[in-house]
Amino acid sequence: MFDMNKTTKIALFPGTFDPITNGHMDVIQRADPLFDKLIIAVGHNPDKNVVFPQDQRVEMIQEIVAESCPNVEVQSFKGLTVDFARQVGATVILRGLRNVTDLHHEFQLALTNRAVGDIETVFIMSGENFGFTSSSLIKQIAAGGKIDRLLPLLPKLVIDKLKEMTKEQLLSSIEHF
């Protein structure tokens, strides 16, 4: 069970982060001071088409968080989140919530993670400017050629990387276009 008296509080923030958005960054920046260490766990989901390979997502996130989030480290993983959480000594799983739909899905995951991995989940509500932001929507907008319009939603580094891609590369990453 989760013990608030443990000396080191390590949170694991898992996700595909394809790409990482300012909504993700909002959660990371607000969670960073709450924990001794925050590990951004960049997962591999074989069921998802991705724009950026896993190693590139890790590198981008490392560069984006380097100066603003001193307690954050970025790692890649495959397999079950609860297994990786145990491997890195995480005391909680961190999740961001944008809306009620997210809550329904995340609530089920949190209960499963507690039952299977004996780990609690901490939720942080997204900032009001990011309640509608999703990586899938971002990819659709980018594939439509409107990358500059994404600046309020994405870190500049991600915008620059998207601009380097062809429309075909972007279209191939969209699951339901």
What amino acid positions are annotated as catalytic residues?
A: 24, 48, 98, 135
Complete edge-to-edge strand list for the sheet that includes strand 120-125: 72-77, 37-43, 10-15, 92-97, 120-125
Q: How far is CA 119 from CA 3, 15, 160, in A?
A: 10, 17, 37
d(CA 63, CA 60): 5
d(CA 100, CA 111): 16
d(CA 89, CA 53): 26
d(CA 20, CA 151): 12
